[in-house]
């Protein structure tokens, strides 16, 4: 028996096939790009391309392994958060897919931050006040594209769109809904107060369903999926929440760190929790299971930026690892503030800028590369400090995300965090999380904690005490640099 997890991400969609012993059998991937715009605040993708990618990866695995309704137990979904698509009365798309990185609603977000409403709505929804939030994106359309706003029947996410295309229903799961800024994470309903603020009602949004909700009967238009049309399709959850589940990080004092295009550190709690200062998010995963933490904009995307600027098309990652290894801790005094694309946690300020501090004439490309890695790791450490107090201290961190295929990245983060790190052999934690959630949906497990992880696949990393003490001092300088530049960044 096979199980398929589909992970709809920022740069690609993956279909990951597992067997009944939870072994990863194969992966199919379909990539796509962000649409270029003269105004870099606009970050959009083509929803049709993403939908085609979903069909493509499922079809390829189906044909490769002769999957059918007898040998494929289910397909379960993971998807990126904070996306927004506008749909008209004819169920036609009238906007691109506006992704989490979009910053067009900066001024509206700042306006709300100056009054009590931003924090009040955060306390209800668990979504921090930031342009990533669909709440602020919809307000932007109301104020700046009034005609388009008035034509819109539905404001939906990319996952909602996929399921509408496949099944003809507008549905969204509690997890994706909890990242919209429109959803009450305690009542598990659309917040009347928040949607009234925009001037829309529940009919303009998708029906909300549990993350274990099952659909069957794919639209007959998709002949390529004909022989799996009655397989169980599990609606699933958001990629961040499922990354925690898929990396065995839903227990007390355990966190998951993901660094892909962006980055995040997350831990779990058994009830909805929001921070008095609004520094962390709180998203729904399952009954009595919420994921709290913070996401950073500048993960792998900032690393790719420095590689492109300094090494052009030279992307030999083994060579890059050797370059990182050749530079001592601290990058000879060079500090990188990695806010190239603004920043989310713990500052939630899209106007922040990146900086290199302490540049000297003897610094080489390798110093800048190493400082970049250290800066991104400091950024994760900054969020770690915010969530540690919420969970009575983090004792262990489970790593996932493609960046952690690099030993030098892991060692650097280990020494900066000062916490035991665990790396699982599979890097597809969101897809595995979708599988675990699916197994609960179909009754194979009663509780998410009943899933058995193969602990033989874990590689452990322990920090170097001397280097950790050194990095603690460097981290304080990093924080001081952010504070000193904060007002200056607002002016440029």
Which of 168, 172, 159, 169 lies closest to 77, judged by CA? 159
- The CB-side HSE value for 148 (13 A sphere, CA atoms) comes to 18
> In this prediction, what percent of the chain has a pLDDT beyond 90?
83
| Long-range contacts of 215-220, Cβ-Cβ distance < 8 Å, separation of 24 or more | 215/163, 215/166, 215/167, 215/169, 215/171, 217/167, 218/166, 218/167, 219/165, 219/166, 219/167, 219/168
Mean pLDDT of the chain: 94
- Cα(328)–Cα(367) distance, rounded to whole angstroms? 9
pLDDT tens figures, 28-38: 999 999 998 88
pTM for the predicted model, two decimal places: 0.91
Q: What is the pLDDT of residues 194-253, one digit of tens each?
A: 999 999 999 999 999 999 999 999 998 999 998 999 999 999 999 999 999 999 999 888
Question: What confidence tier does 314 reach under pLDDT thresholds 50, 70, 90?
Answer: low
Higher-confidence residue of 342 and 370: namely 370
All residues at 6 or more sequence positions from 298 whose CB lies less than 8 Å from its CB, including other chains: 262, 263, 338, 339, 340, 341, 343, 354, 376, 379
Local confidence band at 403 (pLDDT 50, 70, 90 cut-offs): confident
Mean pLDDT value of segment 298-321: 87
What is the helix, strand, coil percentage profile of the chain, to 5?
40, 25, 35
Q: How many CB atoms lie within 10 A of CB 256?
A: 30
Maximum alpha-carbon separation in the chain: 66
Beta bridge partners of 340: 342
- 43-82, pLDDT tens digit by residue? 999 999 999 999 999 999 999 999 999 999 999 999 999 9
pLDDT value at residue 390: 67
């Amino acid at each position: 028996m096979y199980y398929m997890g589909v992970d709809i991400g920022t740069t690609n969609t993956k279909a990951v096939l597992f067997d009944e012993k939870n072994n990863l059998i194969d992966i199919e991937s379909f990539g796509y790009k962000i649409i270029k715009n003269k105004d870099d605040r606009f970050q959009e993708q083509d929803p049709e391309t993403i939908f085609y990618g979903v069909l493509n990866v499922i079809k390829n695995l189906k044909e490769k392994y002769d999957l059918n309704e007898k040998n494929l137990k289910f397909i379960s979904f993971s998807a990126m958060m904070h996306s927004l698509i506008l749909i008209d009365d004819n169920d036609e798309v009238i906007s691109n897919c506006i992704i989490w990185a979009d910053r067009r609603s900066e001024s509206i977000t700042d306006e709300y931050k100056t009054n009590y409403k931003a924090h009040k709505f955060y306390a209800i929804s668990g979504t921090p006040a930031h342009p990533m939030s669909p709440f602020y994106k919809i307000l932007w359309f109301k104020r700046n594209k009034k005609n388009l706003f008035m034509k819109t029947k539905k404001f939906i996410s990319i996952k909602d769109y996929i399921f509408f295309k496949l099944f003809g229903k507008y549905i969204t799961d509690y997890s994706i809904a909890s990242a919209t800024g429109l959803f009450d994470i305690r009542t598990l309903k659309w917040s009347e107060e928040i949607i009234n603020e925009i001037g829309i009602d529940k009919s303009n949004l998708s029906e909300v369903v549990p993350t274990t909700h099952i659909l069957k009967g794919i639209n007959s238009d998709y002949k390529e999926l004909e022989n799996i049309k009655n397989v169980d399709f599990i609606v699933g959850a958001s990629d961040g929440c499922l990354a925690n589940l898929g990396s065995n990080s839903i227990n007390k004092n355990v966190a998951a760190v993901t660094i892909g295009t962006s980055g995040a550190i997350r831990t779990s709690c058994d009830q909805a929790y929001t921070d008095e200062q609004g520094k962390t998010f709180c998203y729904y995963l399952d009954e009595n299971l919420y994921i709290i933490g913070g996401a950073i904009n500048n993960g792998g995307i900032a690393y790719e930026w420095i590689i492109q600027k300094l090494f052009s098309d030279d992307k030999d990652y083994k060579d890059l690892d050797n370059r990182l290894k050749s530079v001592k801790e601290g990058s000879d005094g060079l500090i990188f503030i990695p806010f190239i694309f603004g920043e989310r946690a713990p500052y939630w300020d899209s106007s922040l800028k990146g900086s290199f501090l302490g540049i000297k004439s003897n610094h080489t490309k390798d110093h800048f590369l190493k400082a970049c890695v250290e800066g991104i790791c400091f950024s994760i450490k900054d969020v770690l400090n915010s969530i540690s107090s919420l969970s009575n201290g983090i004792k262990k961190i489970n790593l996932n995300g493609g960046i952690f295929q690099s030993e030098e990245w892991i060692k650097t983060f280990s020494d900066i965090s000062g916490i035991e790190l665990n790396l699982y052999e599979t890097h597809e934690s969101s897809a595995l999380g979708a599988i675990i959630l699916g197994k609960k949906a179909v009754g194979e497990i009663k509780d998410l904690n009943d899933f058995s992880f193969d602990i033989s696949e874990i590689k452990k990393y322990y920090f170097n005490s001397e280097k950790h003490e050194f990095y603690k001092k460097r981290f304080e300088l990093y924080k001081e640099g952010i504070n000193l530049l904060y007002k200056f960044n607002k002016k440029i």
